[in-house]
Amino acid sequence: MAGWSKKVNETSNTLDLERGVFTYKSPSRIAESLKQSAERSSRRKTTPFQSTMSMLNFYINRAGRSLQEERRKVLEQAKVELRRLHR
C-alpha cells in the first residue's frame, strides 16, 4: 500500500494485518487471517465482523480499476467466507 492508505493502516484504529494477507490465493485463508486479526485487535471500534469486512472493502476500493479481475473474484469470495466464519 502506498501513500495515505499505508498511513491509515499504521496510525488509525485499523487491524494489525498479517503481511501479504490480500495476496493469498485462498479466499478462506484470507478470511481466517482477517478474522484472527480482528479478534486479537485492541484498536478496533466495531465488532470483529464489521472490522474484517471494512478492511477487505477498503483494500478492494483502494485498488479500484487496477485490481485484476481474478484477484477481485478471490477477494469477493473472501467476503462470503467471512460471513460464514462470523455466523
Residue 5 falls inside a structural domain: no
Residue 53 falls inside a structural domain: yes
Residue 51 falls inside a structural domain: yes
Tens digit of pLDDT per residue, the chain (87 long)? Answer: 455 556 555 554 567 888 889 999 999 999 999 999 999 988 788 899 999 999 899 899 988 889 999 999 999 999 999 999 998
Residue 38 falls inside a structural domain: yes
Residue 17 falls inside a structural domain: no
Q: How many domains does the chain have?
A: 1
Taking each helix axis as running N to C, give the angle between helix 48-63 and helix 27-40, from 0 to 180 degrees, rounded to the nearest 10: 130
User: What is the pTM assigned to this prediction?
Assistant: 0.82
- For the chain, the straight-line distance linking the first and the last C-alpha, in angstroms and rounded, comes to 30
Whether the CA torsion 14, 15, 19, 23 is positive or negative: it is negative
Residue 86 falls inside a structural domain: yes
